[in-house]
């Protein structure tokens, strides 16, 4: 679990704002659900033989209630969707969310115990049009975040019957070879054979290579859904590859499944930036109406490792330097006027020499320093020192704010920077 110090928060906000803007452009609305939910919700939605439920949840008892810090956002979103009868009010629901998630995993680069996801869910659309739109939107978002080396993988898992038949085939394939599987996969063979496909263990991977592929088991409806998904992605010009062995760590998926990876050099083993897919049975399984759904979530920390976006280094636009006690009050008023013009501003309320205040202004990245000394106060003027142009001029106090604001805005336009 990490602290995010102010030096890094600027990049976090940039990614969060880019995400929120994309979501709004695509018609999603933000939902905020609790960070704690009843444990049985996650067990039912995610599956009791998944790593998340078996090993990674922070669960506790409180006054007889079994509670868990949410390990992901989909189960809580589905619970809220059912609890508030949202399907009765709108045929299609598009929700996005952002916030902390908790999994007791072994920490490493890009993998933490409290991490942050940005994600979205669509309820009430069977796809595959919205599936393709979601994948294409994510490729665009990652482009906006300047993430290099993207790879998009898609697969189809079919419906519950397909899964059952595929599961039986995998058991048939792995059972005679069980002795060569890792201990973990020998256990998975009994509890959740699909998870063997996802194993990173070399012994398992050797056997996975020859395992039957899910596509041989898809029924006509599944196949048609997957073919249309690919056709829409082709029409959109979205780059992707079909990975027939793609399975994911949560049990609720049906049909469409996808993952986007970033450059391995930066992210290492945790190079999956985001993942998602359909979960057409979850809402009904949790006691709600029969409503199909699809969603994704991205790890914010991973997006930040992968993104080449910078934040503007400057923390303020202007610095007001009062020289002497009598100038502090007028300095505060001047700074408040500058802020009302939209300029970021700090006042040297600690006092100190002009030299030390200029040093502080430089460290903050200020473009101008407004100096107020005894003689300026007496004459109703301020000294405006331009730290970039290295000029200094006396301006009437009443006009200084407007003139400085206009200049800084014009200069930031000239540099193609966003207005502060
Ligand atoms: P997930 O694949 O478990 O899916 O997590 C999504 C993303 O969260 C991962 O690709 C990764 O970037 C990030 N993530 C997961 N665990 C950690 C961790 N320990 N540290 C840092 N980042 C992590 C879900 O959570 C599903 N709810 C996605 C979804 C939404 N499917 C349908 N709707």
pTM value? Answer: 0.90
Could you report the per-residue pLDDT of 335-349, keeping only the tens digit for each?
A: 999 999 999 999 999
Q: Which numbered atom of ligand 1 lies nearest the CA of 250?
A: 3
Q: Which numbered atom of ligand 1 lies nearest the CA of 56?
A: 19
Tell which wins on pLDDT, 57 or 416: 57
Write out residues with Cβ below 6 Å of ligand 1. Answer: 72-74, 103, 105, 110-112, 115, 117, 119, 121, 248-250, 272-277, 279, 295-299, 301-302
Length of the chain in terms of residues written: 420
How far is the centre of ligand 1, averaged over its atoms, from the C-alpha of 111 (Å)? 10
Q: Please state, in angstroms and as integers, the Cα–Cα distance from residue 383 to each residue in 368, 377, 392, following that order.
A: 10, 10, 7
Rounded to 10 degrees, the C-alpha dihedral 95/100/103/105 comes to 120
How far is the centre of ligand 1, averaged over its atoms, from the C-alpha of 298 (Å)? 6
**Crossing angle, helix 220-236 and helix 129-144, to 10 degrees?**
40
**If you search the block for the tokens 């018609």, which residue do you land on?**
27
Tell which wins on pLDDT, 206 or 70: 70
pLDDT over 70 percentage in the chain: 98
How far is the centre of ligand 1, averaged over its atoms, from the C-alpha of 117 (Å)? 7
Could you report the per-residue pLDDT of 8-40, keeping only the tens digit for each?
A: 999 999 999 999 999 999 999 999 999 999 999
Please say whether the beta carbons of 278 and 294 come within 8 A.
Answer: yes
Site to substitute for ligand 1 among 105, 297, 298, 300, most atoms within 8 A of C-beta: 297
pLDDT level of residue 416 (50, 70, 90 thresholds): very low
pLDDT beyond 70 at 397: yes
Q: Please state, in angstroms and as integers, the Cα–Cα distance from residue 226 to each residue in 30, 133, 192, 209, 272, following that order.
A: 29, 14, 24, 23, 22
What pLDDT score was predicted for residue 288? Answer: 98
What pLDDT score was predicted for residue 327? Answer: 97
Site to substitute for ligand 1 among 109, 298, 299, 300, most atoms within 8 A of C-beta: 299
Determine which residue's CA is closest to atom 16 belonging to ligand 1.
111
What pLDDT score was predicted for residue 264? Answer: 82
Cβ neighbours of 210 (radius 10 Å)? 8
- Annotate 125-155 with b (16+ C-beta within 10 A) or e (fewer): bebbebbbbbbbbbbebbeebebeebbbbbb
Site to substitute for ligand 1 among 142, 260, 275, 303, most atoms within 8 A of C-beta: 275
- Annotate 37-46 with b (16+ C-beta within 10 A) or e (fewer): bebebbbbbb
């Amino acid at each position: 679990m990490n602290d995010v110090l102010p030096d890094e928060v600027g990049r976090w906000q940039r990614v969060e704002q880019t995400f929120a803007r994309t979501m709004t452009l695509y018609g999603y609305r933000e939902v905020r659900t609790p960070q704690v939910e009843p444990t049985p919700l996650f067990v039912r939605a995610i599956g009791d033989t998944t790593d998340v439920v078996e090993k990674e949840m922070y669960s506790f008892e409180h006054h007889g209630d079994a509670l868990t810090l949410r390990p992901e956002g989909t189960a809580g979103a589905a619970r809220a969707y059912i609890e508030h009868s949202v399907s009765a009010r709108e045929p299609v629901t598009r929700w996005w969310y952002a916030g902390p998630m908790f999994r007791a995993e072994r920490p490493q680069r890009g993998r933490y115990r409290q991490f942050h996801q940005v994600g979205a869910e669509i309820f009430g659309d069977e796809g595959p049009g919205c599936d393709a739109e979601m994948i294409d939107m994510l490729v665009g978002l990652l482009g906006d975040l300047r993430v290099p080396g993207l790879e998009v993988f898609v697969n189809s898992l079919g419906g519950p019957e397909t899964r059952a038949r595929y599961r039986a085939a995998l058991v048939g394939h792995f059972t005679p070879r069980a002795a060569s599987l890792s201990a973990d996969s020998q256990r998975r063979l009994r509890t959740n054979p699909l998870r063997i496909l996802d194993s990173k263990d070399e012994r398992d991977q050797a056997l996975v290579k020859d395992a039957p592929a899910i596509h041989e088991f898809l029924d006509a409806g599944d196949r048609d859904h997957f073919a249309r998904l690919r056709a829409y992605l082709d029409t959109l010009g979205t780059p992707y590859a079909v990975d027939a062995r793609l399975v994911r760590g949560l049990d609720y998926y049906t049909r469409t499944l996808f993952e986007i990876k970033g450059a391995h050099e930066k992210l290492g083993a945790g190079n999956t930036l985001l993942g998602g897919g359909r979960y057409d049975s979850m809402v009904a399984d949790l006691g709600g109406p029969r409503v199909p759904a699809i969603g994704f979530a991205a790890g914010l920390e991973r997006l930040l490792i992968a993104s080449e976006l910078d934040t503007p280094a400057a923390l303020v636009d202007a610095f007001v330097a009062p020289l002497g006690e009598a100038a502090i009050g007028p300095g505060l008023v001047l700074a408040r006027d500058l802020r009302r013009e939209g300029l970021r501003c700090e006042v040297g309320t600690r006092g100190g020499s002009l030299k030390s205040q200029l040093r502080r202004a430089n460290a903050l990245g200020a473009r101008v320093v407004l100096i107020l000394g005894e003689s300026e106060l007496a004459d109703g003027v301020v000294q405006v020192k331009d730290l970039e142009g290295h000029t200094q001029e006396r301006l009437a106090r009443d006009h200084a704010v407007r003139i400085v604001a206009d200049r800084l805005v014009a200069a930031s336009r000239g540099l193609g920077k966003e207005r502060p």
